[in-house]
Amino acid sequence: MVFSSTIFLWIFLPVVFAGNLVFGKRLSNLFLLMASLFFYAWGEPRLVVLMIFSIIWNYLAGLLIASVSRKKLMLFIGVTGDLALLGYYKYAGFLVKSANIIFGSTFIVPRIALPIGISFFTFQAISYIADVYRGKVKVSRDPLPVALYISFFPQLIAGPIVQYTDVEKQLKSRKITAEGFADGFRRFIYGLGKKVLIANVLAKCADTAFDHGAAGLGMLPAWIGALAYTFQIYYDFSGYSDMALGLGRMFGFTFPENFNYPYLSGSITEFWRRWHITLGAWFREYVYIPLGGNRKGKGRTYANLWIVFFLTGLWHGADLSFILWGLYHGALSFVERLGLKKLLDKSKILARLLCFIAVCIGWVLFRAENTSAGLSYIAAMFTPGDGMKLWELGDMKTLVIGIAAVIGCGMMQALVPGKLKEWYKKSLADALVCGAILFFSLVALAGAGYNPFIYYQF
C-alpha cells in the first residue's frame, strides 16, 4: 500500500485515524501497531512474519542488554541478528553473483524477494538496542512501544529513519490536537503534490531517456534525462518524507526532518547535511563516531569517511553501481577536504552550480540499470552528436512541471522573506493552495498512471 493510492487516502487513513480517536490513549499503541502490521501485510502478507520476528528479536535483545553483565556480547548478538536478516534478504544474491565473477564459480544465484523497507526498519531496530546499551534510553519492559517504534506505518517503508531517542517519550504519552492535525494534514498534502504532480510527470521523461540507452541518445537529451531524474528522486523521496512527517503529526508524533533543500548546497559535505538527513545522522551516530570520527588524525578521519560512504552506497542497493555511487560521493568529499572547498567558497554561485552538476552526474549511476549502462550514459552526457529529438522526451506539461520543479526545490523558498512565509502558513491562500493540490492529486491518481516510490526498493 502506498500513500498516494486511493485505498490509503479514502479507506485506510480515515479508518485508522478515527479508530485511534475511539480507542483513546490507553489502547492507542496497540491499535496503531495492528494497523501498521496490516499496512505492511497489504503488499506482502507472508513477509509480515519477518517484521514480527524483527520486533521480538530486538525487544528481547534490549531486555538482555539491560539485564546481563556481558552487555557488549548481547549487543553484538542483537546487531548481528539484525544484519544477518538484512544481509540474507538484500545481499545474498549479490554476494553469490560477485563470488561467481571473482572466483569463476558456478553457484546458483538465489532469487530472494526483497521485503519492502527492510533497510529502514532494520536500522531503526539497531538504533534501539544500541541506545539501550549506551544508556541513552531506558529499556522498555512493555513490548508495545518497541513494536510500534519499529513498525509504525508512516515511516515504515521509506523513512525518515527515526532514532528511538527521538520518540521515546512520544511512544509513552502523546496528544492529538486540532492544530497538530491541521499542520500534519497540510504537510501531507504538500508531500502528496510533490509526488503525484511533479515526480510522476518527470519520471516519464527520465524513463524515456534511460530506457533508450546511451547509444544514439545525444548529449542534450542525456542531460535532460539526468536532470529529470535528479528532480524526480528529490520530489519523490522528499514528498514521501513530507507525507510521513505529516501523518506522524496527525497521530501526535513529531519526526525529525529528512530534507532541507539539498540542491542549494555549495559542497558535497553540505549536500549530505541536507539530503536524507536521518540516514546521515544514523551513520554518524552508529558508525562514524564509534570508528573514531575525526578525533584520531586526518588519516583515520579520511578512512572513516570512506567507510561511511561505502556503506551508504551499499545500504541503498545490492549492486556495484550503488557502491560506486557512494564511493563517488566519498571521493568528492575527500577532494573538498583537501582544499577544493576553500576555493569554491570564494563564489557561492559557482560552488552551488558545480555541486549540483556533480550530484546530477552521480544520480545517473543510481538510476541506470547497471554499472555499465550508467557509465555509458555519463559518457553520452559529454559526447556531442545527434540523438533523440527533444520532443520525444516530453510535452509542454513536462516542460512546465520541470520549470516548477527547479523553482520549488529551494530557489523560491530562499528568496521569500521569513515573515512572508509565516503569514502564508496562516492565510487563506495556503488553504486554497492545499485544496487545489489535493484536488489535482486525486484527479491524477484516478487516472491510475505511473505511481511507485523510488525508495521502496531500499
User: Which residue numbers are catalytic?
Assistant: 316
Question: What residues contact 120, with CB distance under 8 A and at least 6 apart?
Answer: 155, 156, 157, 158, 159, 161, 458
* 102/97 Cα distance (integer angstroms): 9
Could you tell me which of 379, 10, 405, 420 has the C-alpha nearest to residue 205? Answer: 405
Which helix (DSSP H) or strand (DSSP E) does residue 268 occupy?
helix 268-274
* 340/168 Cα distance (integer angstroms): 41
* 194/246 Cα distance (integer angstroms): 13
Q: For residue 305, give the 3-state DSSP assignment.
A: helix
Asked if 258 and 160 count as a contact pair (C-beta separation under 8 A), the reply is yes
* 217/209 Cα distance (integer angstroms): 7
Mark 293-321 as b/e (b = at least 16 C-beta within 10 Å): eeeeeeeebbebbbebbeebbbbbbbbbb
Question: What residues contact 444, with CB distance under 8 A and at least 6 apart?
Answer: 196, 197, 200
Q: How many CA atoms lie within 13 A of 1 on its CB side?
A: 22
CA of 419: how far to CAs of 128, 228, 310, 413, 423, in Å? 39, 32, 42, 12, 6
Is residue 106 packed enough to be buried (19+ CB in 10 Å), middle (13-18) or exposed (0-12)? exposed
Cell (9 digits) for 61: 535483545
* 417/143 Cα distance (integer angstroms): 46
* 82/86 Cα distance (integer angstroms): 6
* Omega within 30 of 0 (cis) for the link into 143: no
